[in-house]
Amino acid sequence: MEDPEEASISGSSSIGEAVSGRGENVNYDGGDEDDDLYYIPERRPSLDLGPSPMDISNWHHVAHAPLPPMSYRSMTSEENVDDMEDEDEEGSSTRVQLNRSDSFSSCYSFDSDDCEKKTPKEKNKDDAVPELTDTPELMTDPNEIRHPSLTVKFTFEAISCTLKKLSEGDLQKFKTMLWKRYPRSFSSSPQGMDIVALVDRLLECYSLEVSLQITTTLLEKLERKKLVDYLQTLRIRNEVRHDLCETLKRKYSEVCEDFTMQGQKKHLDDVFVDLLITTTSDNGPNIEHEVLTIEKLDSNRQPGTPLSTKDILSIESMEETSLKFILITGAAGSGKSVAIKRLILDWIEKQSHQHVSFLFPLPFRELKHFEGQRVSLLEIIQTVYPETKKLREEDYKSDDCKMMFIFDGLDEYNGNLDFQNIELLCDHTDPSTLNIIVVNLLRQRLLYRGLFIVTSRPQGKRCIPWDAHYDEIEVRGFRDSEKDKYFTQRFPDPAQAARVIEYINSVRTFRIMCHLPLFCSVVANECQRIFTEQGTQAELPSSITYMYTKLLLVLTRQHRMRRAQELEPEHERDFLMKLGKLAFTMLEQGQFKITKSDWKEFGVSDQEAVVNSGLCTVFVTKPFVLFNEIVISFIHPTMQEYLAALYVFLSFRNQGKNIFEQQLKHKVKGMLKGLKVMEMYRSAVDRSMQYDDGKLDIFLRFLFGMTTKTNLELLQTFCTTTVKWPTVTKDAAALIRKKMSENQHPGRTSNLQRCLEELGLSASEAASR
C-alpha cells in the first residue's frame, strides 16, 4: 500500500515550488516524464522534522505562494513567462517546477554527501526569505501616455551609459540588489553578466518605464544621487530632442520652388542636388561665357577642397582645427539656405553631426521680431523653440551637451554691429538688446561651448570683426553634372524633364547660368507653367532675355524684401539705371570687376547692389604682397551684359536718348514720331560689329529681346511713359537679315542668327519676311 505522505508529495506540483537549487551545481533537464529525476528518498532519521514532517498545513508560504515567474524549464529553454503560466494553469500533476530559493522559501536542501538525493529540511524562521512582490516600490500609471522619444534603443543606451559610470564594487552591489529585489529578471545570479547582457535581460522582462524605474530605485539605494540625476537628464534631453526634431521637420524638411511661396511644397530629398562647397573663399564669380574668354578676376586662384554639408563642423574637422565658428558665403541664389536645410535634415535623421545634442536654427529674419525688446538669448531660444523650456541651466553649460546654432542670412540683419564700443555679454540668461546679443555671439562670448554657423552673402562678412576666430567656406552652386540631375528630380514626369534638359542644352548661356540653383528654379517654374497650361509638347521660350528678366525681378523684389524695405518704383528704376550705366561703360572697356572709385563715380550703393538686390557679389583680391583689395563684380558676366542692355533700352524708352549717338529728344512723343526706334537698333548692331572679340554680342541679343511683347510686358514697370512702344519685330528681322546678307563680318553671322531667335524667329522665317 502506498504511503499517504509519499503519495501526497508525488502528486502535488507544489513541491517544485518549494524546491530551491540556489547555490548548488546540480543540473536538471526539466523533463515531464522522467520519474527518476523527481524521486524523493526516505527521510534520514537524524533529521528532526517535528511531529508531522509532511503536514502541509505548516507550509502556508508554499501553498499560497504566487505563481512562479521562472520555471526550471524556462532557465534552460528560455521560454516566455506567459507560456509557463499557461502550462501551470493546465494543472500538470507530474511536473515539478524548480525556483530560486531567494524567490520562495525552501523545505528541501541538497545533501552534501549525496547531491542526487533530495532530503527534507526543517524550515527555520531565520532562514525564511520574506515574500517579495515582482516589482516592489514601482508604480506605473496605466493611463499615462508614453512619450514617443522613449524607445528601446534609447532606454538600453541610457541605462547602459549610467551603469558604466559605476565603480566595479558598486556595479556588483547593483547586480546583487537586482538579483534579490526583482526575481523575475534572472534565472541565475547576474554577477557574471556584463552590462550589455544585464540591461538586455532587464528590458526583456519589464517595460521601458519600469526598467528605468528599477534602475533609478537601485541607484537611490546605492546613494548615487548624481547618477540618478544623470539618468533623468538623459531622459529629459531625449524628449526635448525628439520634440525639437519634429518642429524642425515641419520648418525645414520641405521646400517650395514657387517664389510666391504659394506653390506645392516638396520634400527636400525629392529636389536636393549636391552643391559645390569649397574650403576656399573669395573665388570670385563664375566667368564661364558663351562668347568671351574672361581671365580669372584676380580672386583666389586656389581651387580648394570640395566639401559636403556633413563635413561642416564635423568631429574630424574640429579635431584638426578646433574651430567652432564657420562662415558660409556665396552669391545670391548659390544655394546657401538649401545647404543649411540639408544639414538640419541630416541631423534630424541622424545621418550626420551626431556629436551635437541640440541644433537651433535662428534665421536673422526671425530674429528681427525681437528688435526693440530687451531679451536674453535663452528667451529667444525658448520663444522660437518652446520645447526647450524643459532643459535646465546645466544643459547649456555642459561639455557633454553640445549645441549648434545656425544663423542664416547675416546680410538680412540691418542692425548696427559695432564691435568696438559694445556692451560685453557673457551670460545667455542676461536680458539685453538684439544688437548686443548678435555682436557677442559673433564674438563667441555667449555659450562659448557651442558651435556656430553663419551664412551670408559675401558683403555680409564685413560685419564680422577681423580678429574673430573663424573659418570661411563658400557655396558655388551646381557643378555641370548636377544641373541635369536637378531638372530630373524637379519634374517627376520623365518626358517633361527630358524636354527641359534639352531646352537648356540648346542655349549655351542657359547651360552656363544654371550653375546658380536660383536660375534653375526660374527656368523650371516657367517650364512648369507652360506644361500645365499647354501640355508637355508646348513650345518653350526661345528668348534668353525673358529668363533673365524673370531672374532680375526675383532678385530685386522677392529676395530683396527679406533684407530691406520695398523700393518705390522711381527709386528702383533709378538704381537700375545707375547700375546699368556702370555695366555698359565697363562692358565697352572689357572690364568685369568694379573698384571703389567706380562705385563713387556712378553713384551706386554697394549695399543695394550686393546685399539687397544680389545682382553683384564681393570678393577680395591680392594684387600685391601683403595687400588686399575688396572688389565687386556682377554675379555673372551675362548679368552685366543684361543690365547694360536694360540701361540702353530704358534710356531710349523713357528719355529718347540713343546712347550710341548721344542724342536726346526732350519730348517723348516727339521722339517716337521724329526718331525711329530702329535707328537705335541700327546703331547698336553697328557698334557690336566693330568688336571682333564679340564683347557686345550677348548684349545685342538682350537688346533685341526687349522688343518682344512678352518682355515688354515684364519691363513695363520700369517705364515712365504710357506711350505705346511700336512693334519692331519685322523691322528688326529685316535689319538683321540685311547685315547677314552684306557679309561684312562673316565671323559674326552666328550671333546675328541668335538675335533672330531672341525675336522668336528662325533664319528661314526672317528671310521670308
What string of DSSP letters covers 496-562?
HHHHHHHHHHHSHHHHHHTTSHHHHHHHHHHHHHHHHHH-TTSPPP--HHHHHHHHHHIIIIITGGG
Res 77 pLDDT > 70: no
Task: State the DSSP string of 393-445.
Answer: GGGGT-TTS-EEEEE--GGG--S---SSS------TTS-B-HHHHHHHHHTT-
Residue 528 pLDDT: 92
Please, what is the average pLDDT of the chain? 79
Across 636-647, average pLDDT: 96
The answer to whether residues 247 and 387 touch, using CB atoms and an 8 Å cutoff, is: yes
Neighbours of 304 (CB within 10 A): 16
Residue 114 pLDDT: 39
Q: Residue 191 contacts by C-beta under 8 Å, 6 or more apart in sequence? A: 172, 175, 176, 179
Res 366 pLDDT > 80: yes
Task: State the DSSP string of 274-314.
Answer: ---EES----------SS------SS------EE-GGGTT-
- Cell numbers for 404: 549648434
Q: Which of 408-422, 543-557, 634-648, 688-702 has the lowest mean pLDDT?
A: 408-422
Res 546 pLDDT > 90: yes
Q: Please report how many Cα atoms fall inside a 13 Å half-sphere around the Cα of residue 268, on the Cβ side.
A: 21
C-alpha 157/C-alpha 159 separation (Å) is 6
- Cell numbers for 409: 542670412
Q: Please report how many Cα atoms fall inside a 13 Å half-sphere around the Cα of residue 146, on the Cβ side.
A: 13
pLDDT-above-90 percentage for the chain: 43
CA of 319: how far to CAs of 313, 314, 327, 355, 402, in Å? Answer: 10, 9, 18, 12, 15
Beta-ladder partners of 307: 277
Q: Which of 56-70, 308-322, 548-562, 747-761 has the lowest mean pLDDT?
A: 56-70
Residue 699 pLDDT: 96
- Cell numbers for 517: 540653383
Residue 182 burial (10 A CB sphere; 0-12, 13-18, 19+): buried
Across 556-560, average pLDDT: 83
CA of 536: how far to CAs of 244, 490, 523, 681, 710, in Å? Answer: 42, 15, 15, 35, 21
Across 414-439, average pLDDT: 87
- Cell numbers for 474: 563658400
Res 39 pLDDT > 60: no
pLDDT-derived band of residue 518, with 50, 70 and 90 as boundaries? Answer: very high
Res 69 pLDDT > 60: no
Query: Which of 457, 459, 465, 466 shows the shortest CA–CA distance to 438?
Result: 465
Res 564 pLDDT > 80: no
Residue 386 pLDDT: 96
Between 208 and 301, the higher pLDDT residue = 208
Q: Residue 508 contacts by C-beta under 8 Å, 6 or more apart in sequence? A: 290
Q: Which of 421-435, 550-564, 568-582 has the lowest mean pLDDT?
A: 550-564
Across 611-616, average pLDDT: 90
Res 269 pLDDT > 80: yes
Q: Which of 619-623, 640-644, 654-658 has the lowest mean pLDDT?
A: 619-623
pLDDT digits (tens, 9 = 90+) for 447-481: 888 999 999 988 877 777 777 788 999 999 999 98
Between 256 and 672, the higher pLDDT residue = 256
CA of 433: how far to CAs of 145, 369, 376, 425, 714, in Å? Answer: 41, 12, 8, 10, 43
Q: Residue 91 contacts by C-beta under 8 Å, 6 or more apart in sequence? A: none
Residue 81 burial (10 A CB sphere; 0-12, 13-18, 19+): middle
Res 212 pLDDT > 90: yes
Residue 260 pLDDT: 53
C-alpha 8/C-alpha 15 separation (Å) is 10
Identity of the highest mean pLDDT range in 152-161, 459-468, 551-560, 602-611: 152-161
Q: Report yes or no on whether pTM surpasses 0.85.
A: no
Residue 741 pLDDT: 87
C-alpha 186/C-alpha 657 separation (Å) is 95
Q: Which of 329-333, 463-467, 488-492, 535-539 has the lowest mean pLDDT?
A: 463-467
Res 350 pLDDT > 90: yes
Query: Which of 225, 239, 40 shows the shortest CA–CA distance to 146?
Result: 239
Residue 476 pLDDT: 92
Res 10 pLDDT > 60: no
CA of 9: how far to CAs of 1, 38, 85, 192, 610, in Å? Answer: 15, 10, 22, 36, 96
Across 318-344, average pLDDT: 91
Across 436-448, average pLDDT: 88
Q: What 3-state DSSP class applies to 474?
A: strand
Residue 49 pLDDT: 40
Element (H, E) at 118: strand 118-120
pLDDT-derived band of residue 187, with 50, 70 and 90 as boundaries? Answer: confident
pLDDT-derived band of residue 21, with 50, 70 and 90 as boundaries? Answer: very low
CA of 478: how far to CAs of 172, 286, 335, 515, in Å? Answer: 59, 11, 9, 5
